[in-house]
A and B are shown apart, each in its own frame.
Chain A
Amino acid sequence: MNFHPNDVQRRARVASGILFLTIVFLIGSFFRAQVLQHSQYALASEKNRLREVPIPAPRGQIYDRTGAIIAENIPAYTVSLLAPGEDSLRAALNRLTGTIQLTDEDVDKVVKRYRRSPNRPAVIFGDASFDLISVLEEHRVEFPGLIIQAAPKRYYPDGPAVAALVGYTGEITEEQLGSKAFSGYKSGQQVGKAGIEKQYESRLRGQEGVRFVEVDVRGRVVREAGARDDLNAEAAPPLYTNIDLDLQKFIVKLFGDSLQGAVVALEPKSGEVLALHSAPSFDPNRFIGGIQAAYWDSLRTDPRRPLYNKAIQGTYPPGSTWKLATAITALQDSLVKLEDHMPTPCTGGFQYGNRWFKCHKKEGHGSLTLAQAIEQSCDAYFYQLGLRLGITRLVAGGISIGSAERSGIDLPNESKPSFPTAPATEYYNRRYGVRGWSQATSMNLAIGQGENSQTVVNMARFYTALATDGEAAHPQVVRGTSEKERLFELDSTNMAGIRAALAGVVSRGTAAASRIEGLTLAGKTGTAQNAEDKTRDHAWFVGFAPADNPKIVVAVMIEFGGHGTRSAHIASKIIEHYLKATPKQLLSTEGF
């Protein structure tokens, strides 16, 4: 080699320079990665190691008007699985089937949940039994991604008694997850599916918390806690309702196992819903954490339709209970006075043209005043009143008392009553053709038959107007003010007369058997023809008490109950229980 010292020194300088620059270049590269791009890599590192395990928030408790619990939360457990990929999730689930029972359908469901949000643990059991938890805890080490999480579970202490009101919760569906209304929700979460739970979902839903667990490269949970501060779940504030749980339970007891139908009890001045029941009922507690297929099928195929809320969804011809609408409309238009007689007395019916229209009383009522006709529910009188009003005024009057609209109760899925639209002639022309209908239509409509079927809650609402001064609030389950609406305008003499007539129904008239000693009960029976089975009519009673200063309005509808007196009997018991029960201290919610 060329070993002249000067050459060697020159080469040493070149070599040292190259070494120096190379190391400086490396240090520069590290500066770029570690200081300039630090946040980006720090995030990637956190994403590598941390998995979010949601901490479900307790839903808001639901109370009745006295502070009794309608819905609460009890401790339960969910079982879920953290997996780095779909394949490993399936593998883990397959291994799990060796320890616990899992069908192929269950596995598919879990995989679906995983696909929705792969970074969250996929829920296997929303409500795992204690036995299952103990089995899994025993084999914990074999399933490193398994997460057993304490989670509050919805519980309704009175179960079936409040099902029609409170509804139930369930896992959010795929469709809901895709919709805008549920934009903040994630798969596996619980949402209200019916009743108050659904209506007040946004108020009842708590704020989900997050627990961070540390996982290794294979997705195994290495550290359960302390990897990062947890975000605690926040419970939703309680929800106070107007329900009188004691009355509600009393009603349920009255219905027993055999009766089917619905009851709505309202406070007449405010529209507060005191009780609402649909029989037969179901146990909402069995819906929580996933309903068993057998129970679901039995509910679904039960001919008595327990899943159908007969108080707000079922529509029934209102029968004679609707005669009050006819009377009110005629009184309001000054076509009749309470003491007026109709030209033709009742002889067990009324001859109109070549047709004989029957009254329910074969012997006939004779000549009655309007007040007496209400008391006796005389069809012959109301046929003539219907003729006097004419179809246009009759339908307009019905619409103005709210017969064509929903009651506006704060519960989901209320059915709209079916009622002709105004102007009536156009409606009937459309329906039957220009010459396809006659004055008989007005006669039928006047006694609550024909193109008219009402929900129980809507009839109850109409009677709150009768019980007060013609104004009615929208029925309100949850505490809050409800806007009032004027349904009709009558002077106080007429109002008092109407109430007296309705009181007469119970003291002397069609519901005389349902008198309560020491209490003036007012109301109207109704017997609605059942379109499906002519021999089994629906029995109605809508009424209020005390007649002079109403405190409660009750609408009772018994499916296939026969004559309305049967419903009147139940209504009188409800009212008696409510008014004779010691006045209850209302729960103060000041400040909530």
Chain B
Amino acid sequence: MKRRLVPDFTLLALALALSIFGLAMVYSAGQTDVLTRVTTLWHRQLLWVAIGLVAAFLASRASVRMLDWVTPPLYGVTCVVLLLLIFIGKGFGTGASTKSWLAIGGFRLGQPSEIAKIVVVLMLAKVLAARRDAPKSLLDLWQPALVVGVPWLLIMAQPDLGTGLVFIGIFFAMLFWSGCSWQLLMLAASPGISLVLAVNTTIWGAWFLLLITLVFWYRPYIAEGVFVVVANVAMGVVAPLVWEKLNPYQQRRLLVFLDPGSDPLRSGYHVIQSQVAIGSGGWLGKGFTMGTQKRLAFLPAQHTDFIFPVVGEELGFVGVTVALVLFLWLFLRCVRIAGRATDSFSSLVAFGLVSTWFVHVLVNVGMTLNLMPITGIPLPFFSYGGSFMLACWIAVGIEIRISGEGRGKADTLVI
């Protein structure tokens, strides 16, 4: 029996609209007064959108069963590649200090960590879908934690803090979707939260009291409860040590996030110039390709990490709103697809992919207004970069497939 797939045109249109919008911004990013290699990069980006469309088509042809079947070997290969990267990875472009590039004989193939995000989503979905119930204790989380943990460690070894952050986002989002209670998620996240809050002893103390309350309320196994408390204490103790282990530039980025004016000419410079670009755009912006912050190179990495300020500067608040509403629409559409999926695996995959995008958008856009620390995460469909554009479109293809296999008509209101 051959079933004809009706593609989710709304989703496709949204992804296309975002890609075209993004392509226009990459073109604009190259329109500077002092010409750089960015000037012609939009040609390549156009090519990558085309490749992405083909990849999306192919991905949409693969049935969910097939995805399910191919996931374990894909995961294995991904882990091996990530492991190899630690030895043969190359730094390039905005990730010059990390070994995130896979290159053979000087030819850059791409950044495997972008594809790894999709593979981790698939593998995590497979593990969580195999359970009849949602994990109820920390002990139940060992499998998902392992699935995310291995590639996460390998990526942190590159070291690529931003992508690592995305993995953590994926982990918690998919646990939530699988039905984990918020209390358990909180307990699982608590050591990490401790690590961050330990910067300030008072805040950390308050957090610790809150945690104790949570432990008594949720009543995990005694061993778990003890483990969580000990882990939090340990994190509070090691936080200063971890801080010292961070690279100076990473430390500066975090400090600058707390106070951009503390280092206005160096680390804080990016954030300040980004805010100036956005703020000077006003309601309607300075006009497409006319942004002075961008033209005169005050805005750093204007074609990759800081492409959104170009939107803000040239198209103003209206342009920003259009872009963010398109993203919101895309997200809600995908959540709906996840909600209508016929099986738990595809539902988890659909939700995992949209949560990946969401983390990217939140961190990237938040960073341009100093709402988030600078972590170097690209903006989906906008930032220049082949691997990421390809990964985004593969995700679109998978979403379309899941949408097509879903219950009822694609446009039935579910939420």
Contacts and interface: CB of A to CB of B under 8 A. Distances in A.
Interface in A34-90: 34-35, 37-38, 40-42, 44-46, 48-49
Interface stretch (A174-182, A209-217, A295-303, A481-489): A209-217
B134 A37 contact: no
A19 B328 contact: yes
Interface residues on B, range: 35 or more
A23 B327 contact: yes
B414 A12 contact: yes
A16 B335 contact: yes
B244 interface: no
A71 B309 CA distance: 55
A37 B283 CA distance: 11
B178 A26 contact: no
A217 B298 contact: yes
A9 B351 CA distance: 13
Contact of A48 (B131, B282, B298, B365): B298
B332 A34 contact: no
Nearest to A215: B296
B320 interface: yes
Given A30-B320, A30-B321, A38-B282, A2 B176 contact: no
Contact of B335 (A15, A41, A216): A15
A222 B366 CA distance: 31
B278 A41 contact: yes
Nearest to B355: A15
B298 A3 contact: no
Nearest to A22: B362
B278 A30 contact: yes
Interface in B231-288: 273, 275-283
A103 B362 CA distance: 56
A208 B280 CA distance: 29
A1 interface: yes
A11 B292 contact: no
Contacts of B281: 34, 38
A49 B178 contact: no
Interface string A507-524: 000000000000000000
Nearest to B285: A34
Contacts, number: 148
A29 B371 CA distance: 9
B369 A33 contact: yes
Given A15-B177, A41-B276, A44-B280, A23 B328 contact: yes
B339 A48 contact: no
B12 to A, nearest CB: 20
A437 interface: no
B147 to A, nearest CB: 14
Contacts of A216: 33-34, 296-298
Contacts of B292: 45, 48-49, 214
Contacts of A2: 133-134, 178-179
B321 A27 contact: yes
Contacts of B179: 1-2, 7, 11
A34 B316 contact: yes
Contacts of B374: none
A222 B33 contact: yes
B360 to A, nearest CB: 12
A222 B280 contact: no
B199 interface: no
B324 A41 contact: no
Interface of B: 33-34, 128-129, 131, 133-134, 176-179, 273, 275-283, 292-293, 295-298, 312, 316-317, 320-321, 324-325, 327-328, 331-332, 335-336, 338-339, 343-344, 347-348, 351, 358, 362, 365-366, 369, 371, 414-415
The 4 closest A-B pairs by CB, nearest first: A41-B279, A2-B179, A45-B280, A1-B178
Given A22-B358, A30-B324, A222-B295, 9 more contacts: A1-B129, A3-B347, A8-B347, A19-B328, A19-B332, A26-B365, A27-B320, A41-B279, A45-B279
Interface of A: 1-3, 7-9, 11-13, 15-16, 19-20, 22-23, 26-27, 29-31, 33-35, 37-38, 40-42, 44-46, 48-49, 214-218, 220, 222-223
